[in-house]
Amino acid sequence: MSNPLGTILLYIDGSESCITAAQLAIAMAKAYGCSLRAMYVVNENLLAELLKAKIFVQMEKMDYERDLEEDGKRYLNYIVKLADRKGLKIEPILRKGVVHEEVAREAEDCTADLLVQGELGEVLSLRDSFYEEGERILRKVKCPVMVVRGRDRIERMFDDL
């Protein structure tokens, strides 16, 4: 039987759980010979909301956007180094926009066979569930989605790789 997974897309959001998801995605890509892409999206929707709510003035928005972009680069570089230590090349992708739309577009463009993401954020209300990006990604992408949890088990497996 041929490998059903050609391309895995990993969504990185800067949370601790996204590192766990990265470890599993790296292990899967290595085990199955898949190409792996890691994606971070600077949430321009959030920036616009903060500006609209007058939490930020335009200059602060630009500074915060630059900070988010630098965070994204740091996370992507860290994931690239994790993969490199396991002998795997990874393609980092940094975008700006509406997070779930950008992730769905990338999954479509690279014909991802699987999207891997960390645990979903805690939803305290029905309203929160509409704004939690991990949840929105689940609803938007057309490929299978794996939500990763179980940090201790995955870290042990990753270390044994």
Can you list the domains of the chain with their CATH numbers?
7-156 (3.40.50.620)
How confident is the model at residue 73, as a pLDDT? 96
DSSP one-letter string for the chain: ---S-SEEEEEE-SSHHHHHHHHHHHHHHHHHT-EEEEEEEEEHHHHHHHHHTTSS-HHHHHHHHHHHHHHHHHHHHHHHHHHHHTT---EEEEEEE-HHHHHHHHHHHTT-SEEEEEPPPP--SHHHHHH-HHHHHHHH-SS-EEEE--HHHHHHHHHH-
How confident is the model at residue 129, as a pLDDT? 46
Query: In whole angstroms, what is the distance from residue 63 CA to residue 142 CA?
Result: 34
How confident is the model at residue 21, as a pLDDT? 97
Q: Order of strands, edge to edge, in the sheet holding 7-12?
A: 91-97, 35-43, 7-12, 114-118, 145-148
HEC string of 44-85 equals HHHHHHHHHCCCCCHHHHHHHHHHHHHHHHHHHHHHHHHHHH
**Structure-token match 């890691």, residue found:** 38
How confident is the model at residue 88, as a pLDDT? 96
Tell me whether strands 7-12 and 91-97 are parallel, antiparallel or unpaired: unpaired
| Positions of the chain with pLDDT lower than 50, given as ranges | 125-126, 128-130
How confident is the model at residue 50, as a pLDDT? 67
